[in-house]
Structure 1
């Protein structure tokens, strides 16, 4: 099969080029920076507001709820007003809300700030993936993995950057957040000229929300399983290494670091890998490597082996979501914009539900058994390679 096939996007337009490719990369980078930059602010908010774990958990749920409410309608918004307008407006709201996450002085004000931040973040996420599919189509070659690689790179820069500003620069949380916001806003401003002024014209008259169907539903489920595994590594990798392998906190924290480095490297090289192997092999090998990685974590009684296992999970999972998004953009079951919206929303549900589901299974059975289910989820993704036809 060809790496990129014709999509049902608007035909009365000039095909995108290098400027649009660069702008897409910049937006993915910005979203990664801002999203990950929130992580170091969470423990500070817990201390500032005097929250226990339960209250903090409910607070963080507002981030997901905001995103889930906004993501399903983003495809329609881009069809009516174009990717440029939607990304620009939502980015300004997202970046503007970011400093408030560092200063909100009550649970309610923090909940509102997080919900607004989550809704705008979810909107930009879907819109930039719609732009990415159109830009990839116009280029005639795989580009989605590279775009997502910039998101992962931005995540490392965002979390590391704001942590460095707080620890090494001695800045207050508000000043550190403002620095991140200013840099992010400048990057968005520089990318505006390359953002597409149109969206998917096949859905301009569609209702605001359409349930996924056919192959799109399968793609969404596969994305959900992949994000479920990724979210579980984020929240449970260190817990597994400390509680099951007896590792100290310092070593356990390297579990997610190994995963993130592998994920970033795999995505930055992913477009070349897709061209060399084809999308079906990327899905098969990626799912198998991810399953093997979880198996190493489970079966080898060593914390250091666990780090290797998490690294393998990162390598395996790195290009699954980009391939699934590209496949969604080519589907004939729904218009491309609606398909990407549906797949993004289902994937985000997996990211939100994954950690809670692992905790529930661990409570009923054991944490190692929960990780067995994660390995099985990756095997299910590998077995579904026909979706990439």
Structure 2
């Protein structure tokens, strides 16, 4: 039976009440299981960022070992992006069929192992093949870890996705530091670093997967037990139509695309400080650091704001804040005000993509993986298109005008984000969601 509850999952979407199922011991599982799954999800996001850092930190060594030019490396990077978009969609379908637990265990472990063929590649051709495979597994890991995060969030009955996403850059930071230590031991060869860390991360994933959320019994479409109907057959009857669910996911993906294009533009901010504001290279190097610091703060504090005001209000405010931050950077030609503006820019962008992914996963629990995969695919498209778009405008119109594009896109998020979130909430309100007692939400 459906009932209105003050502790429903809907406050994560717009701060208002919604419809939930009455929880039973069978539907919520053991409270310790939920808490362990939350910690395992944090660790999985951390390891995802750590694995990305292993690749990114070793790019110069990989280029040198394989005698790959900058132009050839651009093609390798394109292969990674193409592979990631394919992996996002493929993993989404697997998640819907088998559930996020096994999909995440397999994709994350193989993603870590994929560092080995990248390290052992002996030329541009073999590196390209290895990079394509790594991209597919990266996209699959991204979709499955977000799907598992949404499932954990649903079980907890409160917003946690932003905190999960904060663990990703934390993993990247640690991974970069660890990689630097390996480079001291083997300054000209990435094989040792990628082999040791690839195997180590894969082992850690396998161990962590013991605490992922259990899957539903056979016959429930591979979903986690929190996605089962409280009364047989009701979930299927109330689930939104597939076409409507897909359209909502695409609309959310376009919102995320605008935010990801903004994040991709952060690579140009150091160049802006150095060339347009005539700063030293040391000061210019702080541009990305300030942007990243803003993102970290935004994600660490964003869940509390989402629980208080709802994802709709947070998304609108975040878009405006990001636009104002970048406008502040461009309007005041001073290094310190520019750095402050970049911090605000990162702070504003930080909540958007995690909230979009979480909302996509709640439209229809039966198609959570597919919808998250669609959003991820469009997001990776933003990362691919962003540098090309900004670079083209830089060549023809200058860097200042080029950086106005992400500011305008942030305003687009502030405008289109709220109605899309509301529409997604209406779709999600037709899906049955099991909750847990208040004690587990503390």
* TM beyond 0.5: yes
2:247 matches 1:214: yes
2:381 equivalent in structure 1 = 349
CA 1:374–1:354 in structure 2 vs 1: closer, same or farther (change >3 Å)? same
- Identify if the C-alpha distance between structure 1 residues 117 and 6 changes in structure 2 by more than 3 Å, giving closer, same or farther: farther
The reply to whether residue 53 of structure 1 matches residue 70 of structure 2 is yes
Q: Relative to 1, partners in 2 of residues 1:236 and 1:81: Cα closer, same or farther, differing over 3 Å? A: same
Do 1:216 and 1:333's aligned partners in 2 also have CA atoms closer than 8 Å?
no
CA distance in 2: counterparts of 1:214 and 1:154, whole angstroms: 33
Q: C-alpha distance in 2, partners of 1:320/1:334? A: 24
2:392 to 355, 360, 373: 360
TM-score, normalising length: structure 2: 0.80
Q: Which residues in structure 2 correspond to 1:290-369 (within 5 Å)?
A: 290-331=322-363, 335-369=367-401
Distance 1:43 1:169, change over 3 A: closer
Match of 1:2 among 11, 28, 33: 11
How do 1:85-96 residues align onto structure 2 when only pairs under 5 Å count? Answer: 85-96=102-113
**In structure 2, C-alpha distance between the alignment counterparts of 1:114 and 1:97, rounded to whole Å:** 8
Deviation for aligned residue 1:386: 2.8
Normalising by structure 1, report the TM-score.
0.90
Distance 1:370 1:45 in 2: 31
Aligned residue number for residue 420 of structure 2: 387
Q: 1:343 deviation in Å?
A: 0.9
Alpha-carbon deviation of 1:144?
0.6
Partner of 1:206: none
Alignment CA distance shift 1:99-1:253 (3 Å): farther
Give distance in 1, aligned partners of 2:45 and 2:364. Answer: 26
Shift of 1:221: 0.3
Does residue 168 of structure 2 align to residue 151 of structure 1? yes
List aligned pairs for 1:1-389, cutoff 5 A.
2-3=11-12, 14-15=28-29, 17-167=34-184, 172-198=189-215, 199-200=222-223, 213-233=246-266, 235-331=267-363, 335-384=367-416, 385-389=418-422
Deviates most, 99-108 or 355-364: 99-108
1:51 deviates by 2.7
Count of aligned positions: 381
Over 3 Å counting, the alpha-carbon distance change for 1:212 and 1:280 in structure 2 is closer
Range 190-199 or range 91-100, more displaced? 190-199
Q: Give yes or no for contact 1:213–1:334 (8 Å, CA) kept in 2.
A: no
What is the CA distance between 1:76 and its match in structure 2?
1.3
Unpaired stretches in structure 1, ≥5 consecutive residues: 204-208
Q: Is the 8 A contact 2:96 2:368 kept in 1?
A: no
Write the distance in 1 (CA, Å) between the matches of 2:405 and 2:66. 36
Structure 1 Cα separation of the partners of residues 169 and 40 of structure 2: 16
Q: Equivalent residue of 2:297, what SS?
A: helix
Unmatched segments (≥5 aa) in structure 2: 1-9, 216-221, 228-234, 237-241, 423-442
